[in-house]
Structure formats: structure tokens, C-alpha cells
């Protein structure tokens, strides 16, 4: 698989504990967790080192507040960071409390996120 099952299981458990009915989609070589038909978070890989990344859609305010936390980096595919998104490397989600922090931010931002429904 293009993502690690262990991290996916940890994320699923947090969604269950938060009573947030997410569903999953395989996208962009990884796995995306959708909440209310909106991308909430996902698992991807760092192409340079092969390690997993948490893609977190947390909004601009939460990103600015949390960007100094360990493992937090701008989400940048093209040389231009995507506003309101962050890539969290494994140093930022190794501990369960850290992963829960990021997933809770994603869930809290989800009602304000725009849907890409066609």
C-alpha cells in the first residue's frame, strides 16, 4: 500500500472517539479522510525520504498558531504553499496526543472548509 495501515488505524480511532463519521478515499498515492464530503486530513509520503506525512486541513488561523510545533511544515506541492493546509512529519504525530491534536484541529475546521462538490 502507498500509506501505512498503522497510521490509518490511529486516525480512524480518533474519528470514532470524536464521533466524526469520516469515510476514506484513495487519492494522490495516499489515503484521504473525508468528513461531510470535504477533505479533512490524509496520509501521504515525503518523496525525498519515503516517510509518511499527515496532510492536515486546519485553516489559516490554526496553521499560523501551530506552525512552530514539531513536524509542522507548509503543504507545498508546486513551490507555492497551500493556505490552511499543513504537512506534519512523523516527529509531529509519533505520540498519540500529538496525532490527536492535529486530527482535532482538522475536525474543528471542517465546518468552515469549502466543499469541492461538483
pLDDT in tens, 39-53: 999 999 888 888 899
Mean pLDDT, residues 73-83: 86
Residues of the chain with pLDDT > 90, as a percent, come to 75
In a domain, residue 98? The reply is yes
In a domain, residue 117? The reply is no
Based on the structure, what is the number of domains in the chain?
Answer: 1
In a domain, residue 118? The reply is no
* Cα(100)–Cα(69) distance, integer angstroms: 14
Q: Return mean pLDDT, the chain.
A: 92
State the pTM of this model: 0.92
**16 has pLDDT over 70:** yes
In a domain, residue 17? The reply is yes
In a domain, residue 43? The reply is yes
In a domain, residue 79? The reply is yes
**118 has pLDDT over 70:** no
In a domain, residue 96? The reply is yes
CATH code of the domain covering residue 94: 3.90.1150.30
Residue 1 is predicted with a pLDDT of 46
Q: Which domain holds residue 73?
A: 5-112
In a domain, residue 26? The reply is yes
Residue 93 is predicted with a pLDDT of 97
Amino acid at each position: 500500500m502507498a500509506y501505512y495501515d498503522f497510521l490509518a488505524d490511529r486516525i480512524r480511532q480518533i474519528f470514532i472517539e470524536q464521533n466524526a463519521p469520516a469515510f476514506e478515499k484513495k487519492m494522490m498515492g495516499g489515503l484521504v479522510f473525508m468528513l461531510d464530503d470535504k477533505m479533512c486530513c490524509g496520509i501521504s509520503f515525503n518523496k525525498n525520504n519515503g516517510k509518511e506525512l499527515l496532510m492536515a486541513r486546519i485553516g489559516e488561523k490554526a496553521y499560523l498558531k501551530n506552525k512552530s510545533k514539531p513536524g509542522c511544515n507548509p503543504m507545498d506541492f508546486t513551490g507555492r504553499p497551500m493556505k490552511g493546509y499543513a504537512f506534519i512529519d512523523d516527529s509531529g504525530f509519533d505520540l498519540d496526543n500529538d496525532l490527536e491534536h492535529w486530527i482535532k484541529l482538522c475536525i474543528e475546521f471542517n465546518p468552515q472548509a469549502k466543499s469541492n462538490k461538483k
